[in-house]
Amino acid sequence: MRRLLTAYTIYFNRRHKRHGHLFQGRFKSYIVDKSNYFIALSRYIHLNPRESGLKSDFEKYRGSSLRYYIKGGEPAYLHTKEILTYFKGDRKAYSRFIREGLNKEIKPPVLIQSFMGDNFFARQIHKRLGYLREKESRAYRAKLKRDEALRKIEEKSAERILDHVGRYFGIRMAIIRKGRRSRGDLGKARALAVILLRQYLPWTCLEITEYLGLKGKRDINTFIKKAAQDEALILIEKNIKDSFDK
């Protein structure tokens, strides 16, 4: 979600020639007690358009997936089956369930700003998360192994990005990563590397600075500003992204 929101903010700001934040706050995620709160949360999300003042035809709201849950014809990326299983696949039954929430308080309780469930559920999950912080625990070792495997995948993606950028400018990947100049083609290549790494990988600014041998976040901001103001660089970025996505 961080990668998605960052990439969209960059895209939106460039398209509308603006700067700064686009979304009101950071994305928040909760651990949900699936057995008791899963469909309640689904109903709360699908009735969210009411919060913006939409009193009728909320099933047709274009920013919601509700119409697909009720009418069908959902796109391939939208997985409706799990929720509808609770209603034996009956879309009309789910529609009735949604409408039953129109005249009642339906927001599921949130505990410790992290858990959506009762106190017992929150204690159990909190205990499990505690194991992840114990370096001698099996859970901690398993998480470390998963993190290492994920990092290798991310670094391969980063190398692929730099390879595309390097081939476009005729500059070796090692120079893009550790070069000290910020002018000319090398400066443009490093600026594009920063932009693409932010868009395609869930890395923090610190991780990008370390990977590219930059001095700090100020360097990242400098490259982003350079890329936003150079129309030729924006076109090159689009061409690289097109070749990268193939």
Residues 158 and 123 in one domain: no
Judge whether 21 lies within some domain: no
Domain residues for the domain of 73 are 31-132
Global model pTM greater than 0.85: no
What confidence tens digit (pLDDT) does each residue in 48-64 have? 887 766 666 777 788 88
What confidence tens digit (pLDDT) does each residue in 51-105 have? 766 666 777 788 889 999 999 999 999 999 999 999 999 999 999 998 888 877 7
Q: What's the pLDDT at 81?
A: 93
Judge whether 170 lies within some domain: yes
Judge whether 17 lies within some domain: no
Distance CA 51, CA 64 (A): 13
What confidence tens digit (pLDDT) does each residue in 137-163 have? 887 888 888 989 999 999 999 999 899
Residues 155 and 115 in one domain: no
Judge whether 199 lies within some domain: yes
Residues 99 and 181 in one domain: no
Whether the Cβ atoms of residue 106 and residue 40 lie closer than 8 Å to each other? yes
Q: What's the pLDDT at 182?
A: 66
Q: Domain boundary residue among 132, 157, 177?
A: 132
Q: Domain boundary residue among 132, 160, 189?
A: 132
Judge whether 77 lies within some domain: yes
Residues 178 and 112 in one domain: no
Q: How confident is the model at residue 232 (pLDDT cuts 50, 70, 90)?
A: confident
Judge whether 140 lies within some domain: no
Residues 176 and 226 in one domain: yes
Q: What's the pLDDT at 55?
A: 64
What integer best gives the mean pLDDT of the chain?
83
Percent of the chain with pLDDT over 70: 94
- Select from 155, 150, 170, 164 the least CA-distant residue to 212: 155
Residues 128 and 152 in one domain: no
Residues 184 and 234 in one domain: yes
Q: Is the pLDDT of residue 15 over 80?
A: yes
Judge whether 9 lies within some domain: no
Residues 67 and 105 in one domain: yes
Q: What's the pLDDT at 62?
A: 83
Judge whether 160 lies within some domain: yes
Long-range contact list for 113-121, CB < 8 A, 24+ apart? 114/30, 114/31, 115/30, 115/31, 115/32, 115/33, 116/30, 116/31, 116/32, 116/33, 116/37, 116/41, 117/31, 117/32, 117/33, 117/36, 117/37, 118/33, 118/36, 121/33, 121/36
Residues 233 and 155 in one domain: yes
Residues 100 and 55 in one domain: yes
Q: Domain boundary residue among 101, 132, 163?
A: 132
What confidence tens digit (pLDDT) does each residue in 17-52 have? 888 888 877 788 888 888 788 888 899 889 888 776
